[in-house]
Amino acid sequence: MIEVKILNYRKIEEGLVKALVDIEVNDWTLKALRVTQHPGRRPYVASSRAGIKDPGTGHLTFEQIIYAPPDIWAEIENKIIKRYEEENGKNGNTTETN
């Protein structure tokens, strides 16, 4: 069993990235996971990416840094999306909370 704990949640007000989240999974810390939401779609969580420049062409590509087994990633995503929905409402609209 894994334990997912949100360490830091930073809301972002521009573009498709809606929040940056740092989490702890058991003894591991994962930083800057992104909550992304396209208009009219369900939000999802993406891991940090690294920019890699091809030395021959100079072309820049971005590679995902963290890969987790699907069952573990589902637990991570569920925890983060639950927090996102608490902060913004089920459909991503900002709601007032007490």
Question: pLDDT of 2-49, one tens digit each?
Answer: 899 999 999 997 899 999 999 999 999 999 999 999 999 999 999 988
Backbone phi and psi for residue 2, each to the nearest 5 degrees, phi listed first: -110, 155
How far apart CA 80 and CA 34 sit, in angstroms, is 9
At the topology level, CATH places domain 4-88 in Arylsulfatase, C-terminal domain (3.30.1120)
> Where are the domains positioned within the chain?
4-88
How far apart CA 77 and CA 87 sit, in angstroms, is 15
Q: How confident is the model at residue 78 (pLDDT cuts 50, 70, 90)?
A: very high
